[in-house]
Chain A
Amino acid sequence: MPASSPSDREMHTETELLLPWYATGRLDAEDRKTVEAHLSQCEACRALLAEELALCEAVIAMPCPTPAVAERAPVPGACPEACSEAGSEVDSESRSNRRSGAFSEAFSELAPTPAPSPVSMSVPPAQTQDRARRHASGGWARMRHSLSRPRKPAVFLAAQAATIALAVGAVYWKAPSPAAQPAPYRTLSAAAPAADTAVAGNMVVVFRPSTTEARLRATLRDVGAQIVAGPTSADAYVLRVAPAARDAALLRLRADSAVLLAEAIDPDRTR
């Protein structure tokens, strides 16, 4: 290595740092010129480049550890073929094939099918496995379902909440009743809350896992919110606050250190 002067050593170091992107052809013209000027006079860096290319090829060729995806058998951790394919599916033909598969699945899922098994909310390992299976069988279908609802993004969580509510069956609760608004009764296994504006949630909130129940209650009281549904499998709660107070409530919740996410889910509302 002819790194005899400080400048040479700097060039050598800089070249070594840039080699991965030189190998992948992702350097801009100036960086590329720097690297090539140094490579032309540094044998050590040329050897490093050869290693770099081999390492890059090896990483690209590795089977991808992706989980089962939408149109594949939904068995997490047991899909080397699907994983491998997902990792290398970069050509337009395979994309096209997968896309048509996703379409098929989307529409088959929208057709009447037996209800899914109830989701266990009390056994974490089973929940994890079950969630993985549900996810694996959903993909675009779930996404499409979310888009087709007359709501904005956070309604995805609300939809999740409704699904969980149906799964847990005959669970009833009485929401707390702030003075300003009488608390309505609502069965979680009842019809979709969207049809009932009196009890429909208008925001979704996720608290930090470390939030105590007392803190959660205090936060809800503080903003005058009632729980409409939840917690979902993603630990989200669908809440309702008086429409006029919602913006202020959202601001306060977002500023609260115990809150990870607070989003409006009103259909005519933009983010």
Chain B
Amino acid sequence: MADGHVRHAQSWKDDADAALIARVVARDQGAFQELYDRYRPPLTRFLTRHTRRPAMVEELLNDTMLAVWNQLAGFEGHSKLSTWVFTIAYRKAARALERNDDPVDTDDPDYGASDAPGPEETTERGQTHAALRQALQRLSSDHRTVVDLTYFHQMGYREIAEIMDCPVDTVKTRMFHARKYLKKILSGTSPDWL
């Protein structure tokens, strides 16, 4: 935070170079694996956060990457490759959620199935994580996704608007309300969080 900004948490998000894209377009599976490995961690996190259904994440990830494999030739570079890939993932997740009636996976420890603190939550840092985790799960999926894309994936509001197919002002206001709520929860649960 040396210059008043949070250091980028991501190095993966540097867009694939043109040579890699060209190799994938030429159906080079080795190049595609490189792309797959690059996107698997962030997409896994993104899809998990957005859907809250870990059981469907791997399938969505592979559906997304298959679409990338087959449609990359049509990628014209008007946006970053990462924005394009996340847009595909977001749409696939939205469609899957539309037709999926399974409840969210509340057995996932990160989804706060239990209010009892785990061993790691007895520390101040753990308490902050626990409070934040519970606060995040109370947000709507769209609010939670904006928070995750902004903070963790370090995307700009225009990129997020493109991914979520909504106006940039919507992204800004979703973020405004989400962080207001998160700060309120954190302040109430752990006064020293700041």
| A interface residues (Cβ-Cβ under 8 A, vs B) | 16-18, 20-28, 49-70, 76-78, 80, 83, 86-92, 95, 98-99, 102-103, 124, 128-129, 131-132, 135-136, 138-140, 142-144, 146-148, 152-153, 156, 206, 208-209, 234-235, 260-261, 271
Q: With contacts defined as CB atoms under 8 Å apart, how many contacts are there between chain A and chain B in the complex?
A: 204
Q: Which of A63, A80, A95, A135 contacts B41 (CB 8 A)?
A: A95
Q: A21-B150, A53-B1, A128-B55 are in contact. Are A16 and B176 (CB under 8 A)?
A: yes
CB-CB < 8 A to A138: which residues of B? 58, 62
CB-CB < 8 A to A140: which residues of B? 33, 36-37, 40
CB-CB < 8 A to B107: which residues of A? 76-77
| Residue of A whose beta carbon sits closest to that of B29 | A147
Name the distance in Å between A118's Cβ and chain B's nearest Cβ: 18
A7 to B137, CA, bound (A): 37
A69 to B48, CA, bound (A): 11
Q: Is the interface of B mostly helix, strand, loop or mixed?
A: helix
- Asked if A26 and B40 make an inter-chain contact with CB atoms under 8 angstroms apart, the answer reads no
Q: Which of A62, A69, A209 contacts B99 (CB 8 A)?
A: A209
Q: Which of B63, B98, B150 contacts A156 (CB 8 A)?
A: B63
Name the distance in Å between A248's Cβ and chain B's nearest Cβ: 22
The range of chain B's interface size is 35 or more
- Asked if A20 and B66 make an inter-chain contact with CB atoms under 8 angstroms apart, the answer reads no
**Can you add 13 more A-B contacts, CB < 8 Å, to A21-B157, A65-B110?**
A23-B5, A25-B6, A49-B4, A53-B4, A60-B151, A65-B111, A68-B54, A69-B41, A86-B45, A135-B58, A147-B29, A206-B99, A260-B99
Name the distance in Å between A174's Cβ and chain B's nearest Cβ: 28
- Asked if A99 and B45 make an inter-chain contact with CB atoms under 8 angstroms apart, the answer reads no
Interface membership of B59, Cβ < 8 A: yes
A129 to B107, CA, bound (A): 11
Name the distance in Å between A57's Cβ and chain B's nearest Cβ: 6
The 5 closest A-B pairs by CB, nearest first: A135-B58, A65-B110, A67-B54, A77-B108, A132-B55
- Asked if B99 and A86 make an inter-chain contact with CB atoms under 8 angstroms apart, the answer reads no
- Asked if B179 and A17 make an inter-chain contact with CB atoms under 8 angstroms apart, the answer reads no
Name the distance in Å between A81's Cβ and chain B's nearest Cβ: 11
Interface membership of B65, Cβ < 8 A: yes
Q: A17-B176, A57-B1, A62-B133 are in contact. Are A67 and B45 (CB under 8 A)?
A: no
Contact with A along B125-137 (1 / 0, CB 8 A): 1001100110010
A66 to B48, CA, bound (A): 6
Interface membership of B141, Cβ < 8 A: no
- Asked if A156 and B152 make an inter-chain contact with CB atoms under 8 angstroms apart, the answer reads no
Q: A58-B128, A80-B109 are in contact. Are A20 and B151 (CB under 8 A)?
A: yes
